[in-house]
Chain A
Amino acid sequence: DVKVTQSSRYLVKRTGEKVFLECVQDMDHENMFWYRQDPGLGLRLIYFSYDVKMKEKGDIPEGYSVSREKKERFSLILESASTNQTSMYLCASSLLGGRSYEQYFGPGTRLTVT
């Protein structure tokens, strides 16, 4: 059974704090993604990675960075949290290949920045 796990379901942080969101997948997938989901806006891609130590910016990378030191783990870092980063953060993974493989999502982390 495929599984993507995220380190926290709920997180409350103060403005200016450094925040780490962790994602682990056990499916040996090459691709990993970080999205944020806001009402009325859908899922927006922050960063993705198609291999260890590789990263690519998505549509809204400002204020975020990522780290992928191992194939199964993809971390999202908020260098200095701000209130406009209050959101639901979803991690996903998929196979790499010519076919458009579906993404498998983690349960999400609801981050509140006060």
Chain B
Amino acid sequence: GQNIDQPTEMTATEGAIVQINCTYQTSGFNGLFWYQQHAGEAPTFLSYNVLDGLEEKGRFSSFLSRSKGYSYLLLKELQMKDSASYLCAVRYYGQNFVFGPGTRLSVLP
């Protein structure tokens, strides 16, 4: 199967910028999604990348390099409410989504 790798945990300070990386196998790639999941809640959609480059949406941006099998989620002006798990998911042709293990982000005051 396709493996998706993300760091397990990250810690950052309120007001700072944090970058969460995701690497995946490139063969059959058909789009990459980022989801946010607060503890005990459902994942919610953050962003979608299918072409190379940066997609910006307010404080959150997502970058994709298809040739490198690499994406990152950039969170600016961190707030306490950004403490959550961030899930990278890749869709492959002929298959459904494959999710990474998630990165648990802790934002400290």
Measured CB to CB, the residues of A under 8 A from B are 4, 33, 35, 40-45, 48, 58-59, 90, 100, 102-108
Contacts and interface: CB of A to CB of B under 8 A. Distances in A.
A44 B8 CA distance: 17
A67 B61 CA distance: 38
Contacts of B48: 100, 102
B87 A102 contact: no
27 contacts: A4-B42, A33-B96, A35-B99, A41-B101, A42-B4, A42-B87, A42-B101, A42-B102, A43-B43, A43-B87, A44-B99, A48-B96, A58-B96, A100-B30, A100-B31, A100-B33, A100-B50, A100-B91, A102-B33, A102-B45, A102-B48, A103-B45, A103-B97, A104-B45, A105-B44, A106-B42, A107-B41
Contacts of B45: 102-104
A45 B33 CA distance: 16
Contacts of B30: 100
Given A42-B101, A100-B31, A105 B1 contact: no
Contacts, number: 47
A54 B87 CA distance: 28
A105 B42 contact: yes
Contacts of A108: 40-42
Contacts of B31: 100
A104 B1 CA distance: 24
Contact of A40 (B50, B89, B101): B101
A19 to B, nearest CB: 20
Nearest to A107: B42
Given A35-B99, A100-B33, A105-B43, 19 more contacts: A4-B42, A40-B101, A42-B4, A42-B99, A42-B100, A42-B101, A43-B87, A43-B89, A43-B99, A100-B30, A100-B31, A100-B50, A102-B48, A103-B45, A104-B45, A105-B42, A107-B41, A108-B40, A108-B42
